[in-house]
Amino acid sequence: MSTPRGQGNTLGIAIVISVVLVALVVLAATRVRLPKPADAPSPVATTSVAIARADNKSGNAALLAQVELYDPKPLFLPTPINNSDPALPTTLRREPGNAFKTISPQLTFVEYEMSIVLPEPIAVPKNLVEALHTGETANPFFTFGRINYPYTPLPKRLAFIEVVQAKSGRTVLATPLNAEPNNSLPSVDWLPIEMAVAIENSGIVGAPTVTSGSGFEEVDDYFRAFIGKQFRLGARLPPGFYMLRIGQ
């Protein structure tokens, strides 16, 4: 007996569709990852609480130190931490008020004579003139410039001379020039003078050469003659070249 042709085609199509559906299901199972189920919460760990004795008799030094450091007392209150040295014995600790126990108190001062003299509240005038000026304010600047303090006057001098060695630049002589009784120096405001001189064993070679004048020819000539004749510079210095500086 043979199967009809139309039924055979229908059965083949059904088999193909079934195979395709199975392939899709297998592919979906391999490609698509389903979410994992949530982990079950772990059981809460229980904390054990222990009670320990914290005093000098317990012998737990670390626990005792921790308790003392976390002491809620204010820092300004005396505690074993801030008012003495815990390493010292109790008899040697310097507690408040006990620092001078070894010194006997001295509550009286009879050995000192305290004599305080208070001025009169109102100054009584000594005479009629002071009574007339009662209530007047004294001038605080009255004595300014009216007190003659003793002083020693400076010695009178003609000028001041400074001699510098030309070779070394060293000052070899610095002294005031005393005024002579018959001083003929012109009374003018002259500028400092600089001169150059050459000295040999016999004295100054010629007259000093003025390198920077005073502004007055009479003053320059006066000091040129004064250095050689009255001051006798050639007899004071060894041979060599020197620079002279003369000022008032």
What's the distance, CA 120 to chain centroid? 49
pLDDT for the residue 1:
47
pLDDT class for 109, splitting at 50, 70, 90? Answer: low
Q: pLDDT at residue 234 above 90? A: no
pLDDT class for 164, splitting at 50, 70, 90? Answer: very high
Mean pLDDT of 67-71: 76
User: Which of 7-11, 125-129, 243-247 is the least confident region?
Assistant: 7-11
pLDDT class for 39, splitting at 50, 70, 90? Answer: low
In percent, how much of the chain has pLDDT > 70?
63
